[in-house]
Amino acid sequence: EEQLVESGGGSIQPGGSLRLSCAASGFTVSSNYMSWVRQAPGKGLEWVSVIYSGGGTYYAGSVKGRFTISRDSSMNTLYLQMNSLRADDTAMYYCARDSRGPFQWGQGTLVTVSS
Amino acid sequence: DIQMTQSPSSLSASVGDRVTITCRASQGIGNDLGWYQQIPGKAPKRLIYAASTLQSGVPSRFSGSGSGTEFTLTISSLQPEDFATYYCLQHNSYPLTFGGGTKVEIK
The model's pLDDT over A21-35, given as tens digits with 9 standing for 90+, comes to 999 999 999 999 999
Question: From the centroid of its chain, how far is CA B7?
Answer: 10
A35 and B94 within 8 Å at the Cβ level: the answer is: no
* Amino acid symbol at A94: Y
Q: What is the mean pLDDT of chain A?
A: 97
For residue B2, give how far its alpha carbon lies from the nearest alpha carbon of chain A (Å). Answer: 12
CB proximity B91 to A under 8 Å = yes
CA dist B102 to A93, B13, B90, B95, Å?
Answer: 21, 12, 16, 21
Please state the rounded mean pLDDT for residues A66-87: 98
A22: how many CB neighbours lie within 10 A of its CB?
A: 26
Whether residue A48 has pLDDT greater than 90: yes
Three-state secondary-structure class, residue B94: coil
**Rounded distance between C-alpha atoms, residue B3 and residue B1, angstroms:** 6
A47 and B50 within 8 Å at the Cβ level: the answer is: no
pLDDT at B4: 98
pLDDT at B106: 87
**Rounded distance between C-alpha atoms, residue B25 and residue B28, angstroms:** 7
| Residue A85 φ/ψ, nearest 5 degrees | -65, 145
Query: Among A68, A78, A73, which residue's Cα sits nearest to residue A106?
Result: A78
Handedness of CA B3, B84, A58, B48 (dihedral sign): negative
B65: how many CB neighbours lie within 10 A of its CB?
A: 14
A45 and B36 within 8 Å at the Cβ level: the answer is: yes
A58 and B46 within 8 Å at the Cβ level: the answer is: no
The answer to whether the bond into B8 is cis (omega within 30° of 0) is: yes
Q: Which residue of A has its CA nearest to B94?
A: A58
Q: What is the mean pLDDT of chain B?
A: 97
Which residues of A lie inside 8 Å of B (Cβ-Cβ)? 35, 37, 44-47, 50, 58-61, 94, 100-103, 105-108
Q: Which of the residues in chain B have pLDDT under 50?
A: none
pLDDT at B8: 98
pLDDT at B42: 97
